C-alpha cells in the first residue's frame, strides 16, 4: 500500500488513525466534508461530501486502499442516513471499483446486530438485527460490500465497531470497547492481509465481558492488546443504584434499542 485514503478523517476514529498510521503508509489522503487540520509531510487533504459522486471519483483517484469511516455516525433522520450512509456509501464503493481499488476497510457497527440479547454470544455469521435506522444502514453497508467483493473482486474487511475510545465510560461499553491501538491493528490486517475477500469482524478489544465471538478476527491474525476489565470496578461502582431502561439493558444495542420502542412485547 502506497497511498491510503481515510474518509471521515475529521472524526474521532479518523483523527486517531491519522496519527497511528503515520509513517506506516507512504502517503495518507485525509478526506472529510468539513475542514480538517492542516496537512503535514506525506499527507494529502481532500474536502468532499460523499453524496456527490463526481467529487468522490476525484477523492479516490490514485489510492491503493480505503479506510471508509465517512457518513453519519449515529442515529439520525432517514433523510440524513440516506444521503450519508446509503448514497454516500454506494458512491465510495462504485468510485473505488472504477478506479481499480482492491482493498477497503469499512466501519460498520455493533448496531447492525443490536437487537440480539445481552445473554447471547454472537459471531460474525449471525443475521443482522439492526436496532435503529443507523443500524439498518450498517447492515446495508455489509450487504453492499459483499456484492462488490463477489462481483468486482474488491477485498473488504467490515469492522463492526463497538465503542472506540481511550477507555470505556459505562457498563455497556465494558463489553464492546476497542482501544485505538487495537483498532489500528484491525485496520492494518484489513489493508495488508494477503487473503481477504469479504470478512466481518467485531471491532472490540479482548474484553473479558464481551458479547462477541471474535474468532474470525483471530483467524486473520488479530491479537488484541487491551481489555476493559481494569476499568470495570470504578464504572460499576459509579453506576450502582442508577435507574436504567429495561429495554436498553436487555439488548446489546442499549439505548438505540430503547429509543422509539413501541412494541408491546420485547422480542427474544
> At a CB cut-off of 8 Å and minimum separation 6, what does 71 contact?
8, 50, 84, 85, 88, 89, 137
Residues catalogued as catalytic? 134
Residue-level pLDDT at 251 = 99
pLDDT (average), residues 81-85: 98
Q: Where are the alpha helices (DSSP H) in 100-245?
A: 133-152, 173-176, 180-192, 215-219, 232-239
Residues of 68-104 as b/e, b for ≥16 C-beta within 10 angstroms?
bbbbbbebbeeeebbbbbbbbbbbbbbbbbebebebb
Cα torsion angle, 14, 16, 17, 22, sign:
positive
The architecture in CATH of the region 3-258 reads 3-Layer(aba) Sandwich (3.40)
**Cell, residue 54:** 463526481
pLDDT (average), residues 21-28: 97
Average pLDDT value over all residues in the chain: 98
Residue-level pLDDT at 245 = 96
pLDDT (average), residues 92-107: 99
pLDDT (average), residues 184-197: 98
pLDDT in tens, 127-164: 999 999 999 999 999 999 999 999 999 999 999 999 99
Q: Which of 22, 17, 24, 18 is nearest to 1 (CA)?
A: 24
Ordered by start, the domain boundaries in the chain are 3-258
Q: Which of 143, 164, 146, 166 is nearest to 155 (CA)?
A: 146
Amino acid at each position: 500500500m502506497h497511498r491510503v485514503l481515510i474518509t471521515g478523517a475529521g472524526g474521532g476514529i479518523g483523527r486517531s488513525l491519522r496519527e497511528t498510521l503515520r509513517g506506516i503508509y507512504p502517503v495518507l489522503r485525509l478526506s472529510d466534508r468539513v475542514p480538517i487540520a492542516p496537512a503535514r509531510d506525506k499527507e494529502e487533504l481532500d474536502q468532499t461530501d460523499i453524496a456527490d459522486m463526481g467529487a468522490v471519483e476525484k477523492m479516490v483517484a490514485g489510492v491503493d486502499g480505503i479506510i471508509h469511516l465517512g457518513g453519519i455516525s449515529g442515529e439520525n433522520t432517514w433523510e440524513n442516513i440516506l444521503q450519508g450512509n446509503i448514497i454516500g456509501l454506494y458512491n465510495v464503493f462504485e468510485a473505488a471499483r472504477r478506479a481499480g481499488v482492491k482493498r477497503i476497510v469499512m466501519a460498520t457497527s455493533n448496531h447492525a446486530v443490536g437487537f440480539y440479547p445481552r445473554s447471547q454470544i454472537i459471531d460474525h455469521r449471525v443475521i443482522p438485527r439492526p436496532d435503529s435506522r443507523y443500524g439498518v444502514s450498517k447492515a446495508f453497508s455489509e450487504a453492499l460490500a459483499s456484492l462488490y467483493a463477489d462481483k468486482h473482486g474488491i477485498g473488504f474487511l467490515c469492522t463492526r465497531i463497538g465503542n472506540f475510545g481511550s477507555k470505556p465510560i459505562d457498563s455497556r461499553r465494558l463489553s464492546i470497547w476497542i482501544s485505538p491501538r487495537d483498532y489500528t491493528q484491525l485496520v492494518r490486517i484489513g489493508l495488508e492481509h494477503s487473503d481477504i475477500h469479504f470478512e466481518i469482524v467485531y471491532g472490540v478489544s479482548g474484553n473479558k465481558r464481551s458479547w462477541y465471538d471474535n474468532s474470525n478476527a483471530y483467524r486473520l491474525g488479530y491479537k488484541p492488546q487491551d481489555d476493559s476489565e481494569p476499568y470495570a470496578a470504578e464504572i460499576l461502582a459509579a453506576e450502582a443504584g442508577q435507574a436504567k431502561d429495561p429495554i436498553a439493558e436487555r439488548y446489546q444495542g442499549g439505548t438505540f434499542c430503547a429509543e422509539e420502542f413501541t412494541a408491546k412485547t420485547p422480542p427474544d
